Amino acid sequence: EVQLVESGGGLVQTGGSLRLSCVTSGFILADYGIGWFRRAPGKEREGVACISISRGGVTLYADSVRGRFTISRDNAKNTAYLQMNSLKPEDTAVYFCRCTKIQLGRPPTDYWGQGTQVTVAS
């Protein structure tokens, strides 16, 4: 059974930090790219950060979080992370982990976690 379980969310003051974890099971995480997404109240879901499957893990960030958030992965632990520093009230959202495997000639395989709430108090 495939599972993605996010944790690490909570309530934090402006300027604080949180580290989100996404523990996966039921598939080989090393074969998947990983992305963190968020959905703020009244807004559409948006991509926050992603990391490739390649050795070294190429990373990309949304402009709104670049320099404050860091995505990483530990394939041996089947876990993805999102370190969030200098948090702002506008970072308040439900954060989701997504794992995607692209295979040429076949539909992509896509897994989502259930989300974890992050609330940043002003």
Q: Give the 3-state secondary structure of residue 64.
A: coil
Reduced to 3 states (helix: H, G, I; strand: E, B; else coil), residue 29 is helix
Give pLDDT, residue 55: 64
The pLDDT tens digits of the residues spanning 51-101 come to 998 766 899 999 999 999 999 999 999 999 999 999 999 999 999 999 999
DSSP state, residue 27: S
pLDDT at 21 over 90: yes
b/e string for 31-42 if b means 16 or more Cβ within 10 A? ebbbbbbbeeee
In this prediction, residue 57 carries a pLDDT of 81
Chain segment 91-115, per-residue pLDDT in tens: 999 999 999 999 999 999 999 999 9
